[in-house]
Structure 1
Amino acid sequence: MKNQPLLYGIIGLLAGSLLTVLFVTNTVNTNNYGMMQMMGIRQGVNGSPLANNLDQHFIEQMIPHHEGAIEMAKLAQERSKRPEILTLAKAIIQSQSKEITQMQTWYKNWYGTEVPVNSTVGMGMGRGMMHGGMMGGQTSDIESLKNAANFDEAFLQEMIPHHQMAVMMAQMLLSGSNRSEMKQLGQDIIEAQESEIEQMRSWLTEWSL
Structure 2
Amino acid sequence: MSEVRTTVHKRCQRRRTTLALVGRLSVLVSALAVTALLAACGSGSTGEATRLAAPGRATDREFIALMVPHHEGAIEMARAALKRAEHPEIRRLARAIVATQKREVATLRAIHRDLFGGKPGPPRAHRFGMTMDEAGMHHDMPMLERARPFDRAFIDMMIPHHEGAVRMARVELGRGSDPRLKRIARAIVKTQSAEIKQLRTWRDRWYGASESGGGSSGAAHPMMGH
TM-score, L = length of structure 1: 0.66
Partner of 1:129: 133
Whole-Å separation in 1 of the counterparts to 2:161 and 2:151: 15
Whole-Å separation in 2 of the counterparts to 1:149 and 1:207: 13
1:179 paired with 2:184, answer: no
Aligned alpha-carbon RMSD (Å): 2.2
Whole-Å separation in 1 of the counterparts to 2:64 and 2:193: 20
Is residue 176–residue 182 contact of structure 2 (8 Å, CA) maintained in 1?
Answer: yes
Whole-Å separation in 2 of the counterparts to 1:112 and 1:101: 14
Cα deviation, residue 82, structure 1: 1.0
Partner of 1:11: none
Cα deviation, residue 50, structure 1: 4.6
| Structure 1 residues 119 and 60: alpha-carbon distance in aligned structure 2, compared to 1, 3 A threshold | closer
Question: What are the Cα deviations for residues 124-163 of structure 1, in whole angstroms up to 9, with x where unaligned?
Answer: xxxx924xxx79x64x421011111211000000000000
The structure that has the greater radius of gyration is 2
| Structure 1 residues 60 and 191: alpha-carbon distance in aligned structure 2, compared to 1, 3 A threshold | same
Partner of 1:167: 166
Matched residue type, 2:133:
M
Cα deviation, residue 189, structure 1: 0.4
Is residue 59–residue 172 contact of structure 2 (8 Å, CA) maintained in 1?
Answer: yes
Question: What are the Cα deviations for residues 110-134 of structure 1, in whole angstroms up to 9, with x where unaligned?
Answer: 1121224x4888xxxxxx924xxx7
Q: Which runs of 5+ in 2 are unaligned?
A: 1-53, 126-131, 209-226
Whole-Å separation in 2 of the counterparts to 1:147 and 1:156: 14
TM-score, L = length of structure 2: 0.61
For residues 81-160 of structure 1, what are the structure 2 equivalents within 5 Å? 81-116=86-121, 118=122, 129-130=133-134, 138=138, 140-160=139-159
Partner of 2:81: 76
| Structure 1 residues 105 and 70: alpha-carbon distance in aligned structure 2, compared to 1, 3 A threshold | same
Local SS of the residue matching 1:112? coil
Partner of 1:203: 202
Aligned partner of 2:68 among 54, 57, 63: 63
Q: Which runs of 5+ in 1 are unaligned?
A: 1-48, 122-127
Cα deviation, residue 81, structure 1: 2.6
Runs of 4+ in 1 over 4 A off after TM superposition: none
Is residue 152–residue 207 contact of structure 2 (8 Å, CA) maintained in 1?
Answer: no
Equivalences, count: 149
Partner of 1:192: 191
Matched residue type, 1:145:
L
Aligned partner of 2:58 among 53, 57, 68: 53
